[in-house]
Chains A and B, each alone.
Chain A
Amino acid sequence: MSQSNDHSRRRFLQGAALGTAGLMAGRAAAQTSAQTPDPAITDLSQQPWTQYLGDGVDARPYGMPSPYESHVIRRDVPWLTADAVSSVNFTPLHELDGIITPNGLCFERHHGGVAELDPGSYRLMINGLVDTPKVFTLQDLMRFPRENRIYFLECAANSGMEWRGAQLNGCQFTHGMIHNVMYTGVPLRLILEEAGVKTDAAWVLAEGADAAAMTRSIPLDKALDDCLVAFKMNGEALRPEQGYPVRLVVPGWEGNMWVKWLRRIEVGDKPWYHREETSKYTDLLANGKAREFTWAMDAKSVITNPSPQAPILHGPGPTVLTGVAWSGRGSIPRVDVTIDGGITWHQARMSGPSHDKSMHRFYYEFDWDGGPLLLQSRAHDSTGYVQPTKDMLREVRGENSIYHNNGIQTWAVNEKGEAENVEIT
C-alpha cells in the first residue's frame, strides 16, 4: 500500500510539473544567474518571438488559451457515474484566479447529455395559474429589460464524495462542481407578470428541453425575487453545455434548480415533488429521515493553492496562499486561514469584487519555513454564519446526506511542498 502511496504522489508531482514546466525552468535559470548569464535573456535563438513575426489578426477569429495552458481543462471521474451522459465534470479551480470562471472551463452536469438547441426553434412557455398562458421566442425575451449579475452556481453534490472522509486528491475534484460568471438576463418576475400570475399561485415548475426534461419546483417568492431567465454568460451567449440559448438562474440555490435549455415555466399552488426533489436532491440523515427542499448553498471555502494539484515548487520563503469562498445566503466579508491545522487562525486578505451569492477571492501571504503545513480556510458570510468543520456537519447529519457538504477542507503539505487531501483531529 505504501508503494502505491508513493506512486500516487509521484504521479501528482509529475502532473503538476507538466503544467509548470515554464516556471521550473525560470526558477533554475534565476538560481544560476549569479554566476552565468541567463540564456533566456542573452541567447536570441531562445527567444524566437523577438526575431520572427507571429500570427496575424486574421488567424484566430475565436481565441484560445496558450498551448502552454493545455492542462487547464475540465476533468471527469469515470467511476462516479454509470455513464458519461448523466454525469458531471469539474472546474480546474487550482489553475484559476480572481472570481470569474472562463466559459470553457465551467463544470458541466447533465442528466441527458448536452441538448443542441436551434435558437430559431427556441420557445419559452408560461402556463398554469396565469391569466394568459404565453409563448415567447428568443427574440421576444431579448426585448424585456435586462440585468447583469455575478453569481456562483454550485452543484448540490459538490464535495459529496468526501462525506465519509478524504477521497479525491485535488480541489478540482473535491470542490470543482462550481462556477462563477456574469449572467445577462431578464428577471423571471417580468416574464411572469406578462402572463399575469393568479392570486392562488404559490409555486413555479421550471422545465428543460433536454432528454431529461429536467423539472424542479421553486417557491413563487423566489421566482419573483431574484431569478433570472439568462441568455448570456460572461458577455457571450450561453455555451451549449450551460443551457444555450436560455437557462434559469436561481441565485444562491443548489445548481440542479438552474434549469438549462429552459422551455417552460408552469405556475401552480403546490410543489410537484418530481424526481429531482424526491429521489435526488433530498438529504438523508442518520435517523433514516430525509430533508427535502434544501435549496440554499451554505457558506463554504477552499484553498486552491497550494493544493494537491498545485504543490509548492519554489521552496521555502515568500509563499502565496489563495482560495475562493462563497455563500448562498449573502456575501463573504471574511475568511480565516490556518497553516497549523487550526491551532492558530489568521484573517485572510479579501481581494476583488464582493457580490451577494458570488465567489470571493482571498489571499494569505506568508514565509514558508519548509516544514509540514496543515492548511484550512473558514468562511464567514454576511449573515454571521461560520463555515463548519466536517465533523460538525456529520454530528447533525450523519454520513449519507450526499449533498450540501460545506465542511472545512484540509490540505497537508509536506517538506517537499506536496499537498494531500486529509482529515485531521
Chain B
Amino acid sequence: SRDGGYGLGREAMPEEIAAWDIDIRPDGAGLPDGSGDVWTGEEVFVEKCAACHGDFGEAVGRWPQLAMGMGTLQSQDPVKTVGSYWPYLSTVWDYVHRAMPFGEAQSLSPDEVYAITAYLLYLNEMVEDDFVLSKETFADVTMPNADGFFMDDRETAEYGAFSAEACMENCKDSVEIAMHATVLDVTPDEPSDAPPESEMSESND
C-alpha cells in the first residue's frame, strides 16, 4: 500500500459496494444466501429464458444452446454448452445473475438464479430432478469439463517455430489457389442506394 497519493475520490460505503460487487468466484466466494430446486427452476426458465434458449436449453434459432453437446469438443463441430464446456458452476450463477435475461439483466432474485442454475444442471444430466442448489450444496457440483482448460502456452508451443528466419527467395516451386471466398458468396453486398432488382432477386442463390 501507499501513503499519501493525491487525496482524490472518497471512501466507498458498504451499501455501495454491496450494490455493485455481485461477482462470484469458482470457490463460491460472493454467493448470497438462498436456494432453488430443479422444478422451480424449470418454471422460471420456461417463463423467462425458453423463448431464446428453448424449453430444454436446446436453443431457438441462433440463440446460445445451454445443454448437451457432451463429447463433441474434439469433433469437427464442437457444441460448447454449460454441460459440455464450462469449467465452473460459479460462472453460470454469476453470468445469469449479472446479464440475463438478455434485455432485462439483474432482474432475477437470488432464489430464482439458484433455481435456474439447478435446472441447467438437470438439463445437462448432472443432477437428479430432486436436486436443490444453495450456497451450501454449491460445492457438491463438479463440472464435467473442469479439467478441460490450461494456461496460454503459446510461448513454449508456438513462439520457437514462429520466430525462425524467414525465407526471402525461391521459397517454393509453385503456388496454387486452394480455396476461394467467392465460392461461398456470404459477404454482404456493398451498400448502395438503389440495387438493381435483378441483383436483389439473385442474392439468395
Contacts and interface: CB of A to CB of B under 8 A. Distances in A.
Contact of B25 (A273, A291, A399, A425): A273
Contact of A422 (B27, B158, B177): B177
Given A5-B183, A291-B153, A423-B178, A127 B12 contact: yes
A308 B170 CA distance: 27
Interface string B2-22: 100110111110001100111
Interface residues of A, number: 118
A213 B6 contact: no
A196 B94 CA distance: 27
Interface stretch (A27-35, A177-185, A274-282): A274-282
Contacts of A336: 166, 168
A125 B16 contact: yes
A136 B178 contact: no
Interface residues of B, number: 86
Contacts, number: 285
Interface string A381-417: 0011111100010001001100000000000100000
B20 A143 contact: no
Contacts of A79: 186
A165 interface: yes
B157 to A, nearest CB: 6
A191 to B, nearest CB: 8
A213 B163 contact: no
A351 B141 CA distance: 56
A132 B3 CA distance: 11
B8 A14 contact: no
A166 B187 CA distance: 11
Given A194-B8, A272-B25, A344-B170, A284 B78 contact: yes
Contact of A293 (B102, B152, B162, B170): B152
Given A196-B1, A342-B175, A127 B152 contact: no
Given A11-B199, A82-B61, A193 B23 contact: no
A312 B20 CA distance: 54
A3 B179 CA distance: 17
Nearest to B196: A14
22 contacts: A5-B180, A7-B202, A11-B199, A12-B190, A15-B192, A112-B99, A112-B105, A127-B21, A130-B1, A133-B12, A137-B9, A168-B186, A194-B6, A194-B9, A211-B103, A288-B78, A291-B153, A296-B152, A345-B171, A396-B161, A420-B180, A425-B176
Given A169-B187, A290-B148, 14 more contacts: A11-B199, A75-B188, A167-B184, A196-B1, A205-B23, A275-B91, A288-B74, A291-B149, A342-B175, A378-B166, A385-B159, A385-B162, A412-B180, A421-B180
